[in-house]
Amino acid sequence: MATRAAQAASGQGPLVRYEDSRVSMACTYAIAVYGRDPRELAPVVAAALDEVDRIDRLMSHYKPDSPLSRLNREAANGPVRVDPELFDFITRCQTHSRESQGAFDVTVGPLMKTWGFFSGMGRVPDDQELAVVLSRVGYRHVVLDPGARTVRFDRPGVALDLGGIAKGYAVDRAVRLLRSKGVSAALVSSGGSTLYALGAPPGETGWPVRVRDPIDARKVAFTVRLKDRALSMAGGQEKSFEAGGVRYSHIMDPRSGRPASGVLAVAVVTGTGTDGDALDDAFYVLGVEKSREYLERLPPTRVHLFLPGADGGYRQVQMEN
């Protein structure tokens, strides 16, 4: 009988599972893969996690030396030439903003700061303060020049915060690297908020992924089997505060300048983690009817909206195009 090492060398024998994780982009990225030889899987998974770290260095607005931080400091003074990857990504963000009619917008950072979500100490700004901040929020304040590959802000105080979509992009980049190394079955997760399922585990039709209950995180709302699809989730309970008997979510409506309301959580199944990361926030802001209209204009996508129900519970609305 051939030894396990000989089987692995010959490409025969059972597939084995290998997992690794790393803290990056303020969450834990976890990767599970299947292959013939765990000794070969380890460096491949490490390289995928390195790719996540690279995206963090490129797109972090917390790291003062990142290209995005430099852009935020300088773009109000004139056009700033940026890395092709970062320019293409900002262009993609602008597309999501236009198509969602501003429900998704990467200029919401000043609003998040004003409402106290960056500091972790929530506060309700008065109308005058909110009006001042709103004048600096909106994707139309970001001017792109594809020919020169420059980004310019049309007024001081505008800033890009890619945190609502960059995690999904990092998931996609990690999956791309795994594919390039011959991995055919993998699950890549960014803290559980965005996942991509590459292929399926041995003998399975897909990767089983649990969607958490929007009210009690210890419970599971339902389980979905994913294969070559992404799942992204957004919930108002993750970061919120209460003031005057009102619960305020960290998910902002960039158009009103106020936290979105009326939805407890959103789960989106779509083609990429990047798109899912943008869409879950957009659907959260838009609510049921506007989301239904938006969905008609998108590639194949499934949306689960969790809405407040009777007696402190919730009800679920599922839509699919």
Whether the per-residue pLDDT at 1 is higher than 80: the answer is no
The pLDDT, as a whole number, for residue 3 is: 46
Could you count the other beta carbons within 10 Å of the beta carbon of residue 173?
Answer: 19
DSSP letters, 243-264, are ETTEEEES-EETTTTEE--S-S
Whether the per-residue pLDDT at 212 is higher than 80: the answer is yes
> What span, in angstroms and rounded, lies between the C-alpha atoms of 270 and 171?
13
> What span, in angstroms and rounded, lies between the C-alpha atoms of 275 and 298?
10
For the segment 100-126, the average pLDDT, to the nearest whole number, is 92
Pick the residue with more confidence: 11 or 282?
Answer: 282
Whether the per-residue pLDDT at 9 is higher than 70: the answer is no
Each residue's pLDDT tens digit, 258-268: 999 999 999 99
The pLDDT, as a whole number, for residue 4 is: 47
What domains, with CATH codes, occur in the chain? 15-61+172-195 (no CATH), 67-161 (1.10.3980.10), 205-321 (3.10.520.10)
CB 196 within 8 A of CB 273: yes
Whether the per-residue pLDDT at 28 is higher than 90: the answer is yes
The pLDDT, as a whole number, for residue 14 is: 85
CB 68 within 8 A of CB 82: no
pLDDT band at 6 (very low <50, low <70, confident <90, very high): very low
Residue indicated by tokens 């399922």: 197
> What span, in angstroms and rounded, lies between the C-alpha atoms of 213 and 238?
12
3-class secondary structure per residue, 174-198: HHHHHHHCCCCCEEEEECCCEEEEE
pLDDT band at 13 (very low <50, low <70, confident <90, very high): low
Pick the residue with more confidence: 253 or 192?
Answer: 253
Listed residue (147, 140, 150) closest to 87, CA to CA = 150
